[in-house]
Amino acid sequence: MKRSVEIVVISDVHLGSIGSKAKELYFYLKSIKPRMLIMNGDIIDMWQFKKRHWNIYHTKLIRLILKLINNGVTVHYITGNHDEELRRFKGFKISNFKISNKLILNLNGKKTWFFHGDVFDITMQHSKWLTRLGSYGYDLLILLNFIINKIYFISKKEKTSFSKKIKKNIKQAVKYINQFENTIVEIAENHGFTSVVCGHIHEPCIKTFKLKNKNIEYLNSGDWVENLTSLEYNNGNWEIYKFNYSDFKTDESFKPINKIFNEMLDDYNILTK
């Protein structure tokens, strides 16, 4: 039985990169029945894209999203910095699918602003080369994590995450995250929003800030590289969903890759009729 969810927000999937957990996201989306899916940036990683990292579950995930669109689910693709090339297609719409740079919804009386968050990242605006360099370093950490965790698995030790430890323990990383959140909240308040939903920094959270005697809700959907989190909205409330491996059986038999591409083509033909 699939769980019904009014709105699901995912971000920072980084399809085509070494760390993308497309398989886990595929099983999560298969387990729910959303009315609206908001993909809040960096879904496809056009900076780090490598064909060898695009496995069968990347394809299955794309096909599943096409199926959701075909079944009447509203799907918003909000662009981020790793898929910024798609910003030229802002306003593109086909069936229930739309590409945009931001989304504004009125949810239970709350004016809510959805956007990736990179446009207010000082590093992105003034030192894009440094951001790209950091992205390569992050990928190196993910690869190192993968190797070390394989050894830990054989030794029956608990998995670890170097990048998460760096974020929590290095003062500059903590300062950057806090500065990002404060900047986003201030801008949201200045524009009359009571809630703001971002991605970009791979730190899932739900916080309430008080500015000028107003409560501003800040939400971040995290990522599908390490945290494996999303935001779910039901009955006027937001919650962070955290993927749990024990909840899913991953022994699904694979279909031949050419059959999957043919099915994707069929879905596209249905949408464009």
6-33 pLDDT tens trace: 999 999 999 998 889 999 999 999 999 9
Spell out the alpha helix ranges (H) of the chain.
Answer: 22-30, 56-70, 122-126, 128-154, 162-169, 171-190, 257-271
- Closest C-alpha to 1, from 40, 32, 22: 32
Q: What is the pLDDT of residue 253?
A: 44
**Is pLDDT above 50 for 45?**
yes
> 254 pLDDT band (50/70/90 cuts)?
very low
Lowest mean pLDDT among 11-20, 156-165, 216-225: 156-165
Does residue 159 belong to any structural domain of this protein?
Answer: no
Q: Which residue has the higher pLDDT, 93 or 18?
A: 93
What average pLDDT does the segment 80-89 reach?
92
- Closest C-alpha to 57, from 249, 257, 248, 222: 257
Does residue 80 belong to any structural domain of this protein?
Answer: yes
Cβ-contact 50, 57 below 8 angstroms: no
Measured CA to CA, the distance from residue 119 to residue 218 in angstroms comes to 16
Does residue 26 belong to any structural domain of this protein?
Answer: yes
Q: Which residue has the higher pLDDT, 172 or 25?
A: 25
Name the burial class of residue 125, with classes exposed (0-12), middle (13-18) and buried (19+) by CB atoms within 10 angstroms of its CB.
exposed
**Is pLDDT above 50 for 174?**
yes
Does residue 238 belong to any structural domain of this protein?
Answer: yes
Query: Which range marks the domain in which residue 207 is found?
Result: 3-117+195-271
Does residue 137 belong to any structural domain of this protein?
Answer: no
Q: Which residue has the higher pLDDT, 255 or 154?
A: 154
> 245 pLDDT band (50/70/90 cuts)?
confident
Q: What is the CATH number of the domain that holds 255?
A: 3.60.21.10
Does residue 79 belong to any structural domain of this protein?
Answer: yes
Instruction: Give percent above pLDDT 70 in the chain.
Output: 71
- Domain tally for the chain? 1
> 177 pLDDT band (50/70/90 cuts)?
confident
Does residue 99 belong to any structural domain of this protein?
Answer: yes
Does residue 104 belong to any structural domain of this protein?
Answer: yes
Q: What is the pLDDT of residue 133?
A: 42
